Chain A
Amino acid sequence: MSLPDFPSPVELDDGARLRSEVDDFIERDGQLLVLKGNDLTLLSHVASAAVLATMDEEQTVVSLAEILIDLYGVPEGVDPAIAIRQIVAVLVERGIVHALP
C-alpha cells in the first residue's frame, strides 16, 4: 500500500543519496516553513523531519527511512519503502530535496 494523496514514489535505489537545499526556513515545534527561490512551502512534521535530516548531511533513501521510522513509526498499512519514496517525491517536486549524482 502507498500513502494516499501523495504523488507516485520517486524511482531511487535504496543507496541513492539525498540532500536538501533551501534558501531560508523557519522551524516551530518540528514543523518547517521553507523558502526556495520565490516558492514557499509549509511542510508537515514528517516532511520537515526529512528535510532537516538531509540538510546538514546527506542521507541515503534507506537511512532517511530509518530516521523517519524512529521518529514516527511505521505508517499503518503502508510499505515503508514506498512511503519514503512518496515523501521524497513531494520534496523533489518542489525542488527542496535532490538526489546527488
Chain B
Amino acid sequence: MGVETADTFRVLIVDLEGIGRAPAGERFLRHELEARGIGPDVISVRSAGLTAQDGGPLHPRTVKAIEDRGADASGYTQRQLNRDWVDEADMIICGNGADRDEVAARFPAAAKKTFSLSEIFYLYEMVVAIAPLREHPALLMSRVAGADLTDDFDLPPMSHDPVELEARIEALADQIQRAAFWVATIWQSMLPEDPSSRPAMQPGDHQVDLVAFGVTVRVVCTGDAPYTLATLVDRTWLWLKAPAPHEGEPDVTISIAVYADEDARLQARADGWMTYETLSQAMHFLSSTVTVRAIDRRAGQLVMLHAAGLATPDGKVVGFVAPSGTGKTTISRTLGKHFGYVTDETLAIEFDGTVLRYPKPLSVITDRDARLKEQMPAHDLDLMRAPSSLSLARVVILNRDPDAGDEPVVEQMPLLHGLAVIAEQTSYITHLPAKLHTLADTVESVGGVWRVTYREAAHLVALVPALADGTVDLAEAEVPAAVGGVA
C-alpha cells in the first residue's frame, strides 16, 4: 500500500455537517477498498462537510455505527470543504442532491465531477460499464442531464433529535455500507492488475486464455466450482479465445473466485482474488475487467472508441459511437445478424485505420433489480463473424429519437462538434501520440463525423452498406452553441 501519486484516483465524499454520512462513507469505502487490496496509491478517499468545524470530533453515534460494521473510525476529525480538496478530487460524491448543488454553487468548476449518491447508484453501471476509472466522471456527467432518476438513494442529513437520530442512523449506515461495497466492487473490476498481489494458482483451479485486441489475457478460476466457471468463461468468450494457450506470461491475468460462503469469499479476497458470490456476478464483472485491462495495455497504441462496430463482407467497418446505455448493444444485436459483428463496446483502431476485432459477449440487462447484465455470447445470438481483415470506413454518432420517422436521417457534423462528441467517448486520448490530432486524423481519414437519427435499430439495416461506401444523402447537422457564447 503506497502513498498517493499523480496517477491516484482521488475521491472526495461531501455532506452537510461532516460528522455522519461523509465520514461514514469515507471509512466504509476505505475499508472495502483495502479488503480488495486497493491501496490509497490507487484510489484515495477523504471526506468533508459543507459546514463542518475543522478539527471537531465525529458524532459518537457515527463512530459506533462505523465500528459495529467492522470499519475503522479512529483518528477522524471534521474537515470543512475547501478549494484545494475540491480541485484535487477526480470525483466528488455527495450525500444528496442538495449537497451536490451547494458544492457546485461554491465551486462551479467542480460541477462536472460532482454527483449525488442516487446519481452514482442508479447511473453508474449503465453509463460507465466499461471504461478506465479516470474517465468515469465525464461519462457519468454526460448522462446525468438526460436521466430521469429518482433520488431515493440519497441520504438525509443527520438528525439532532436523539430519538429520530437513533431511528435513522442504523438505516443510514447500512445504506452507506452497501453503497461502499458496491462501488468498491465496480472500481476493482476496472482497475489495472497489480501483479505483486496476484494469487498463486492451486491444484483444481482452471484457466482460460483470451486475446483482446492484441492483448493476451488469462482468466484464472477458483472457488466452489472452478471447472464450471472456466467452462462458462470459455463458452461465453468463445470468439475471443486464444487459438492456443499463451506461451509464457500473458499481458494480463485476471484471478476470479466464486464462493457462496461469505467467509470463504473474505479469505479469497484477502489472498488477492476478485471475489464474487455467484457465477452471474463473476461473468458480469469479468466483461468490464477484460475490456478495461486490455484498454489499459493498449493506451497510446490504438484509438479506442466506445462504439459498436459492424463490418460489411469486404471488411469495411462502420463504427457507431454512443455513450453506454444508449443503444450500442441493441444496434450490435440487430445489425450483427446482417453484418459482421466487430464489437458492441470498444472499437480498437490502429493509426493506419486497421480495425481489430473485439467480439465480446454482449452485455444485456435481464435483471434490473440484481443490477447485473447477462453476458450473451455472440454465437448464441446468431451474430455473424466479421472478416479477419478490417478497416475503418465510417464514424457515426448514434442519436436514437423515439419520435423519428421510419427513415433514418444522416447528417455531416461540423468537425469540431463531431470530434467533441467522439473525443468524450475515446479512451486514453491523452496518451495518443498527438492527442486530439491523432483522433482527428483517424476521423477525417474516413470522411469526418456523421450522425444518424433513427427510431428503431432495424431501420438501420439497409443503411449500413451506404454508410460504409459513403453513398448516403447527407443533411447538414444543426449544432448547439459552444462554450463561451455564440459569436
Cross-chain contact B485 with A42 (CB below 8 angstroms): no
Cross-chain contact A44 with B435 (CB below 8 angstroms): no
Cross-chain contact A46 with B423 (CB below 8 angstroms): no
Which A residues are CB-close (under 8 A) to B381?
Answer: none
User: CB-defined interface of A29-71 with B at 8 Å, one 1/0 digit per residue?
Assistant: 0011101011111111111101000000000000000000000
Tell me which of A24, A35, A93 contacts B109 (CB under 8 A): A93
Tell me which of A33, A38, A44, A50 contacts B420 (CB under 8 A): A33
Q: Assuming A50-B484, A90-B484, is B424 touching A40 (CB within 8 A)?
A: yes
Asked if B171 lies at the interface with its beta carbon under 8 angstroms from chain A, I say no
Complex-state Cα separation, A87 to B484, whole angstroms = 6
Cross-chain contact A31 with B482 (CB below 8 angstroms): yes
Which B residues are CB-close (under 8 A) to A44?
Answer: 481-487
Residue of A nearest to B414 (CB): A28
Cross-chain contact B416 with A31 (CB below 8 angstroms): yes
Tell me which of B109, B134, B420 contacts A94 (CB under 8 A): B109
Residue of B nearest to A26 (CB): B436
**Majority SS of interface residues in chain A?**
mixed
Complex-state Cα separation, A25 to B484, whole angstroms = 16
Residue of B nearest to A34 (CB): B436
Q: Assuming A24-B436, A40-B420, is B108 touching A46 (CB within 8 A)?
A: no
Complex-state Cα separation, A92 to B414, whole angstroms = 26
Interface residues of A in 1-21 (CB under 8 A from B): 3, 6-7
Interface residues of B in 244-300 (CB under 8 A from A): none
Complex-state Cα separation, A31 to B482, whole angstroms = 9
Starting from the known contacts A26-B416, A39-B138, 5 additional A-B residue pairs (CB-CB under 8 Å) come to: A23-B430, A26-B440, A44-B484, A47-B483, A48-B484
Which B residues are CB-close (under 8 A) to A3?
Answer: 485
Cross-chain contact A42 with B435 (CB below 8 angstroms): no
Cross-chain contact A24 with B435 (CB below 8 angstroms): yes
Complex-state Cα separation, A9 to B484, whole angstroms = 13
Residue of A nearest to B484 (CB): A47
Complex-state Cα separation, A91 to B484, whole angstroms = 8
Interface residues of B in 105-140 (CB under 8 A from A): 108-109, 112, 134-135, 138
Cross-chain contact A94 with B424 (CB below 8 angstroms): no
Complex-state Cα separation, A90 to B135, whole angstroms = 23
Complex-state Cα separation, A62 to B405, whole angstroms = 52
Cross-chain contact B423 with A41 (CB below 8 angstroms): no
Contacts from A to B (Cβ < 8 Å): 3, 6-7, 23-26, 28, 31-33, 35, 37-48, 50, 72, 75, 87, 90-91, 93-95
Which B residues are CB-close (under 8 A) to A45?
Answer: 487
Asked if B437 lies at the interface with its beta carbon under 8 angstroms from chain A, I say yes
User: CB-defined interface of B79-105 with A at 8 Å, one 1/0 digit per residue?
Assistant: 000000000000000000000000000
Tell me which of B112, B420, B429 contacts A42 (CB under 8 A): B420
Which B residues are CB-close (under 8 A) to A42?
Answer: 416-417, 420, 482-483
Residue pairs across A and B with Cβ atoms less than 8 A apart, 18 shown, are A24-B434, A24-B435, A24-B437, A26-B440, A28-B416, A33-B420, A38-B430, A40-B420, A40-B424, A42-B416, A42-B420, A43-B483, A44-B481, A44-B483, A44-B484, A46-B485, A47-B482, A95-B109
Tell me which of B135, B415, B435, B485 contacts A23 (CB under 8 A): B435
Complex-state Cα separation, A53 to B112, whole angstroms = 26
Which A residues are CB-close (under 8 A) to B390?
Answer: none
Complex-state Cα separation, A44 to B482, whole angstroms = 5
Asked if B307 lies at the interface with its beta carbon under 8 angstroms from chain A, I say no
Q: How far is the CB of A52 from chain B (nearest CB, A)?
A: 12
Tell me which of A35, A50, A95 contacts B435 (CB under 8 A): A35
Complex-state Cα separation, A48 to B112, whole angstroms = 21
Complex-state Cα separation, A84 to B112, whole angstroms = 24
Interface residues of B in 391-430 (CB under 8 A from A): 414-417, 419-420, 423-424, 429-430
Cross-chain contact B487 with A72 (CB below 8 angstroms): yes
Complex-state Cα separation, A6 to B169, whole angstroms = 41
Q: How far is the CB of A99 from chain B (nearest CB, A)?
A: 14
Tell me which of B481, B483, B486 contacts A41 (CB under 8 A): B483
Q: How far is the CB of A44 from chain B (nearest CB, A)?
A: 4
Q: How far is the CB of A88 from chain B (nearest CB, A)?
A: 10
Tell me which of A33, A46, A47 contacts B419 (CB under 8 A): A33
Residue of A nearest to B90 (CB): A38
Which A residues are CB-close (under 8 A) to B415?
Answer: 28
Interface residues of B in 432-487 (CB under 8 A from A): 434-437, 440, 481-487
Cross-chain contact B482 with A43 (CB below 8 angstroms): yes
Q: Assuming A23-B435, A25-B436, A93-B109, is B430 touching A35 (CB within 8 A)?
A: yes
Which B residues are CB-close (under 8 A) to A40?
Answer: 420, 423-424
Cross-chain contact A38 with B134 (CB below 8 angstroms): yes
Q: How far is the CB of A56 from chain B (nearest CB, A)?
A: 19
Complex-state Cα separation, A44 to B135, whole angstroms = 25
Complex-state Cα separation, A43 to B481, whole angstroms = 9
